[in-house]
Amino acid sequence: MEAFFATQNEPAYRARQILQWVHQYGVTDFNVMSNLGKSLRQKLSELTECPLLTPIIDKTASDGTRKWLLRLNDGNCIETVFIPETSRGTLCVSSQVGCMLNCTFCSTATQGFSRNLSVAEIIGQVFFAVRALSAENGRHDRTITNVVMMGMGEPLLNFDNVVSAMSLMMEDLAYGLAKRRVTLSTSGVVPEMHRLAQVSEVSLAVSLHAPNDELRDQLVPINKKYPLAELMAACKQHFPADSKRKVTFEYVMLKDVNDSPALAKQLVRLLEGVPAKLNLIPFNPFPKTHYVCSDEETILRFKDIVSRSGIQTTVRKTRGEDIDGACGQLVGDFKDRTRRKERFLREKISIQVED
């Protein structure tokens, strides 16, 4: 923004003024920006725009989780979710329209892929949510304290736009979030993980879901390109050696697929030497999936095996399931360039007919 204002023969501090007007005060009408000269306001109105996302659906779950279907300027729609808790509020932000990857247990993956989101469309979700939540009579439990790039899409496959948007989330003149309170979740795009470590200090979460290559190839197909040996090496190196920060590993619990005691022991061996925390995620069902969530006893047994090794292990509480706002359930409304959704439905119909 400073470079832009330089091209307009304006001082660099104009960038700081605009950041505050837009992100802190929520003002997108340049004519209201009273500390800008009239000629500059006119010029900005002619040369620039502040595109806003339009809410199409606004749902609140029984547990207070709130989900929005937001329409982009091209007609595509994405989903954004807010999860309120006693001591914090987490906003789950999308990075792509759909997802390039094809993780078999994820509803978003069955919808295919359209395109990457722009910086404006990513940070626009935060802009929208801040204003929507503050309108709820100033309720203290609706404050956004954390942002997770865990919505629709693989963030590292939209690297530059995601990093720029996260920088705005942490910018004191915008949203002022601490680096530990912004988390990027990846399925394991190893080259981009190395890049991320060089340019950003945000927290890192890795969608693991299996402790060996054979099983992970089935659940998370990108593992065929970046197998576990490469992924674990990248995780070991991600934070500085003198840092106490840890990588969070996400592991969805699938009945009779990845939840056995033997696999729990494999997982312990896989994470040996990695600065790791483990988050076990009960599987959230979606239409036409053949997966079933592990029962509570199995999840707790799995947790106990891993915990005994000294790895901090928690079981994620399912939130927003009754509005399809839980992990793995996000589905937008867009034109699928991959035709994956069409194939998914055709295959399911074929199986039902055969049965």
In this prediction, residues 232-256 reach a mean pLDDT of: 95
pLDDT band at 57 (very low <50, low <70, confident <90, very high): very high
Residue 327 annotated to the active site: yes
Cβ partners under 8 Å of residue 107, min gap 6: 286, 287, 289, 324, 328, 329, 330, 331
The single residue of 79, 121, 154, 250 carrying the catalytic annotation is: 79
The yes-or-no verdict on residue 81 having pLDDT over 70 is: yes
Q: CATH 3.20.20.70 residue ranges in the chain?
A: 52-354
For domain 52-354, which architecture applies?
Alpha-Beta Barrel (3.20)
The yes-or-no verdict on residue 310 having pLDDT over 60 is: yes
The model's pTM is 0.88
Which CATH code fits 1-50? 1.10.150.530
The single residue of 250, 321, 327, 354 carrying the catalytic annotation is: 327
Per-residue pLDDT at 11: 96
Per-residue pLDDT at 350: 43
Residue 92 annotated to the active site: no
| Half-sphere CA count of 281, side-chain side, radius 13 A | 24
Average pLDDT in the chain: 89
* Sign of the alpha-carbon torsion through 19, 196, 193, 202: negative
pLDDT band at 333 (very low <50, low <70, confident <90, very high): low
Q: CATH 1.10.150.530 residue ranges in the chain?
A: 1-50
Kindly state the tokens that stand for 55: 């809410």
In this prediction, residues 116-139 reach a mean pLDDT of: 90
Instruction: Give the model confidence (pLDDT) of 136-177 as tens digits.
Output: 756 655 689 999 999 999 999 999 999 999 999 999 999 999
